[in-house]
Amino acid sequence: MTDISDPDTAPVDLERLRREHERQYEVYHRVSIQEHLDDMADRREKCPISFSPDGGFWVLSRYDDMSTVLRKNNRGVVSFPNIPDGKPAFGQKKTIPIELDGSVHSQYRKILDPLFSPARVKELEPRIREVARDLIAGFAARGECDFVEEFAMPFPGSIFLALMGWPIEDTARMNAWVNTMLHGVEGGTEEETLAARGQAAGEIRAYMNEIIAARRAEPQDDITTILLRAEIDGAPIPDDDLYDLFVLIMLAGLDTVQSVLAQSMSYFARHQDTWDSMFADPARMGDAVEELVRWCSPAGPSRTITSDTLAVGELTLPEGERLYCPLSAGNRDPKYFPEPDEVRFDRDAKPHLSFGLGTHRCVGLHLARTELRIAFEELRELMPRFDLTAGREPHEHVGLTWGVDNVWLTFPPRS
């Protein structure tokens, strides 16, 4: 006879669980990142796995729970739809590769991983440094800049375009599309955001269709051409899927790196001693970048349970429930990161969650680390000292990715 007290076999009373752990979560909470993280810290203490009735998803706040869930990909959870409320932001089609699972996903990873390997990224270093220097030269003499607009956004954007072999002049257009796709219309209604996203999606599709046609006619030594020649299940990737893949690489590579740059510079402007200590030992620059990536963590993966039940922390949740992992909250778990809200370059090495875990772990992490290290090195040359511009406070957002919309900096001009 079945023992109904056995958590593995007892039916889950979902309604009761949801009621007992109910706590509303606003994905687009209009507060600062730290205020939102304070709310996450409060959840971690009082209700570490909470259910948001609006959107119908579970919110995790602890490092260990996020780690458990993300490692379960293909073995209890899938990544579609990779959005907390389950309403895909970019239509019903699965985003490639981040919403694919199983064999198709691993075939995509076999194609993508070598394109972003440490050796490939190393080759790119001179180009990355050149992009950083060119952008800095654009504002150095003024002694003031909107760091987001003039560096954090165009920097990864230009590198993405160079990698893909697309025209470098399109950086601003590309960034505007990314902004609309990820953050919608600031202060606008849901309808306005949906309309703006639809328009951006149409423009991106037209742009990419042109590029695909041009590369087919005239192949080049770039990632676009490699992906056009790649095969999934023994056949070339259809244009529609290529489009999805390009969009995802674009979104994933631009918004995250720019968020870490913008959040970090906003922090350093208020903590000059931390900025100085970052460069005290050049051999430890890599560790310093990791700490910044931990502290900033812009992304938040969502998963859907596919096994009959899944144990997450002290709860057993049934198939079909959606789990949201705001990685920033996991990375501020004091269990592993004492004084988690501080940027500290002398932490013991506990791997952070910012690049995700399991089968979907970030494809571009070597590129991201290199971009960030080079950007900080070049910025240090120009701006050993800088302040936030008086009267222009940075404006932060949380959402599908977290970041800062503007960081106005003032510094001694350089000719």
Can residue 288 be called a binding residue for ligand HEM (CB under 6 A)? no
383, 409 contact by CB (below 8 A): yes
Judged by CB under 6 A, the residue of 84, 326, 330, 356 near ligand HEM is: 356
Nearer to ligand HEM, 301 or 389 (CB): 301
DSSP letter assigned to residue 401: B
Dist. CA 194–CA 171, nearest whole Å:
23
Min. distance of Cβ 217 from ligand HEM in angstroms? 26
Q: Which residues pair with 263 in a beta bridge?
A: none
Judged by CB under 6 A, the residue of 354, 370, 389, 410 near ligand HEM is: 354
Whether omega before 97 lies within 30 degrees of 0, making that bond cis, reads yes
Residues 109-128 that bind ligand HEM (CB under 6 A): 109, 116
Can residue 404 be called a binding residue for ligand HEM (CB under 6 A)? no
Min. distance of Cβ 139 from ligand HEM in angstroms? 23
Can residue 360 be called a binding residue for ligand HEM (CB under 6 A)? yes
Nearer to ligand HEM, 337 or 411 (CB): 337
Dist. CA 121–CA 125, nearest whole Å:
7
Task: Return the ∠ at Cα 95 (arms to 309 and 156), rounded to 5°.
Answer: 120
Min. distance of Cβ 262 from ligand HEM in angstroms? 11
Min. distance of Cβ 53 from ligand HEM in angstroms? 24
Nearest to 303 by CA among 349, 251, 351, 360: 360
Whether omega before 84 lies within 30 degrees of 0, making that bond cis, reads no
Judged by CB under 6 A, the residue of 50, 52, 61, 82 near ligand HEM is: 82
Alpha helices in 87-234 (DSSP H): 102-115, 118-137, 147, 154-164, 171-183, 190-217, 223-229
Can residue 79 be called a binding residue for ligand HEM (CB under 6 A)? yes
Dist. CA 414–CA 253, nearest whole Å:
30
Min. distance of Cβ 97 from ligand HEM in angstroms? 4
Lay out the site mask for ligand HEM across 321-350 (x = CB under 6 A, - = otherwise). ------x-----------------------
Can residue 362 be called a binding residue for ligand HEM (CB under 6 A)? yes
Min. distance of Cβ 41 from ligand HEM in angstroms? 21
Min. distance of Cβ 304 from ligand HEM in angstroms? 12
Closest residue to ligand HEM, judged by C-beta, is: 364
Strands (E), 72-215: 77-78, 144-146
| Cα 76 off chain centre by | 23
Q: Which residues pair with 60 in a beta bridge?
A: 49
Judged by CB under 6 A, the residue of 33, 285, 293, 312 near ligand HEM is: 293
Distances (CA, A) of 222 to 5, 9, 71, 87, 166: 59, 53, 32, 34, 9
Lay out the site mask for ligand HEM across 240-279 (x = CB under 6 A, - = otherwise). --------xx--xx--xx--x-------------------
Distances (CA, A) of 264 to 297, 372, 376: 11, 10, 10
Nearest to 326 by CA among 15, 20, 52: 52
| Binding positions for ligand HEM, rule: CB under 6 A | 79, 82, 97-98, 109, 116, 248-249, 252-253, 256-257, 260, 293, 298-299, 301, 327, 354-356, 360, 362-364, 367-368
